A = this chain, B = another copy of it.
Amino acid sequence: MPDSNFAERSEEQVSGAKVIAQALKTQDVEYIFGIVGIPVTEIAIAAQQLGIKYIGMRNEQAACYAASAIGYLTSRPGVCLVVSGPGLIHALGGMANANMNCWYMERCMSPPISMAETSAVCMAASVIRNAKQPLLIIGKGAAYAHAEESIKKLVEQYKLPFLPTPMGKGVVPDNHPYCVGAARSRALQFADVIVLFGARLNWILHFGLPPRYQPDVKFIQVDICAEELGNNVKPAVTLLGNIHAVTKQLLEELDKTPWQYPPESKWWKTLREKMKSNEAASKELASKKSLPMNYYTVFYHVQEQLPRDCFVVSEGANTMDIGRTVLQNYLPRHRLDAGTFGTMGVGLGFAIAAAVVAKDRSPGQWIICVEGDSAFGFSGMEVETICRYNLPIILLVVNNNGIYQGFDTDTWKEMLKFQDATAVVPPMCLLPNSHYEQVMTAFGGKGYFVQTPEELQKSLRQSLADTTKPSLINIMIEPQATRKAQDFHWLTRSNM
């Protein structure tokens, strides 16, 4: 990269940069994420002069993930500024992710609202009325469409059980009495009518296929995107249009004749019983006193202190999957998840985006970013970004010393006694007892290394109490791989 002298930049560059910055301003851009270099530095400066906020990141991947979350959070375009060449290629991951999750970058105007065909609405209402075991599934599309008011009314007025997808959480609060998240598998498996609000029948929903669903289940699909309708299963009714507008159409139609789904039905009874037994099972896991802690113990203690209005960002394998079932959302668009792809590396970028938005629009709200230890490694250097801008983020690294699993320190040392690490370390293992919290203290934030429930409780309390600094809590859990290292077959080479 040729050397750049700040003083030398040409008049042409400056005026070109001003034109680009003005164009971004005209398109209502509020936030730019990026890494400057020749020749984009001037654009960042020009944008700041117009009042656009520029957040300098440490790797283009994270910058692009951050930018991609802005559209979802603010319905205005997020911009990622990178130099061409390698910077652009680094940013590709973020762009692919935005696309798969159907988010918008650089979108220009809010789209006009469309409604569903009247006759299709009638048919949908009739199918719902005649359902014996109905279920609503609330997806990210419902959150994006700001459909919380209409969907909540539908749930409550007709007493219908509902289930959120990961990013649909909070459209109706997770602790709503009609939320059957704790009986998810049961609800999916036995529902006879399922209404999908901006939710896709992808792998997270088992593609809508038996044996996870009844073979003759009727799907009613409410979506803005025609291409998504009927992708895996042929829906009984499809309502194409803005999800909030269509839900209002549905409410209007259902209102014509007094009706509600009987709260004492066998279906409700089944679901409530299953919820009760599932919740008891996970509470039992959570209450285990053995150390290192397990996932449930950790998440129950986090949930106890989780502010009602916080954002939750999460990525990882078990960390994201189990965390999602325990940590509750009460507000729409307050959960950001690794999503459809299972993309690793999105967490810190998402958290940073949520934090800069929260600082402006809902000051005082925390961003709780729950990361697996492997997931944290993809973009851990963004902790410097968090500290530089002093963002209200608490990072929880749920640390099992590996990907899916790892070794404890003793086993690790034993393994390395006789051989070099590059020859014998199993591919999913990371260094045991890594002090990720020091990556935070290195930049002036607070760091905690916790091994017991008490330490966890205390560190959470302190982190939440001090609103002047970000924190990272490094939470040691069971590495799972409890067998002795020498038992592992990969240490017995087959043909040497």
Which A residues lie at the B interface, using CB under 8 A? 1-4, 6, 34-37, 41, 44-45, 48-51, 53-56, 58-59, 61, 85-87, 89-90, 92-93, 96-97, 108-109, 111-118, 120, 203, 226, 229-230, 234, 238-242, 245, 317-318, 321, 338, 341-345, 356, 359, 374, 376-381, 384, 387-390, 403-405, 420-431, 434-439, 441-444, 489-490, 492-496
Contact = CB atoms under 8 A, between A and B. Distances in A.
A286 to B, nearest CB: 19
Contact of A112 (B111, B117, B318, B387): B117
B240 A114 contact: yes
B85 A343 contact: yes
Contacts of A356: 422
Contacts of A492: 49
Nearest to A54: B427
Contacts of A120: 112-113
A421 B390 contact: yes
Contacts of A429: 56, 388
A218 to B, nearest CB: 15
B430 A342 contact: no
Q: Which of A6, A89, A376, A426 lies at the interface centre, i.e. has the most chain B CB atoms within 10 A of its CB?
A: A89
Contacts of A430: 56, 384, 388
A59 B345 contact: yes
A431 to B, nearest CB: 4
Contact of A86 (B113, B238, B341): B341
A359 B50 CA distance: 53
Contact of A442 (B374, B425, B435, B495): B435
A494 B21 CA distance: 12
A434 B424 CA distance: 35
A422 B55 contact: yes
Nearest to A225: B226
Nearest to A316: B1
B387 A431 contact: yes
Given A111-B240, A241-B115, A494-B50, A1 B338 contact: yes
Contacts of A87: 344
8 contacts: A3-B321, A4-B317, A50-B495, A111-B229, A114-B226, A114-B241, A359-B420, A439-B442
A6 B436 CA distance: 26
B403 A36 contact: yes
A460 B157 CA distance: 70
A445 B341 CA distance: 35
A67 to B, nearest CB: 14
B86 A96 contact: yes
A61 B61 contact: yes
Given A427-B45, A444-B431, A112 B226 contact: yes
A106 to B, nearest CB: 13
Contact of A490 (B45, B241, B379): B45
Contacts of A238: 112
Contacts of A437: 442
Contacts of A377: 58-59, 381, 384
Contact of A439 (B113, B420, B438): B438
A242 B434 CA distance: 47
Contacts of A387: 431
Nearest to A55: B422
Q: Which of A56, A87, A496 lies at the interface centre, i.e. has the most chain B CB atoms within 10 A of its CB?
A: A56
A164 B376 CA distance: 40
Closest 10 CB pairs of A and B: A1-B342, A58-B377, A438-B442, A44-B427, A112-B238, A114-B240, A113-B117, A86-B343, A388-B431, A380-B381
Given A240-B112, A241-B115, A423 B36 contact: no
A496 B37 CA distance: 26
A344 B56 CA distance: 15
Q: Which of A116, A376, A404, A492 lies at the interface centre, i.e. has the most chain B CB atoms within 10 A of its CB?
A: A404
Given A86-B344, A96-B89, A3 B493 contact: no
A490 B230 CA distance: 34
A342 B443 CA distance: 27
Nearest to A416: B390
A197 to B, nearest CB: 15
Contact of A438 (B90, B403, B438): B438
Contacts of A405: 6
Contacts of A435: 441-443
Nearest to A346: B86
Nearest to A388: B431
A203 B1 CA distance: 9
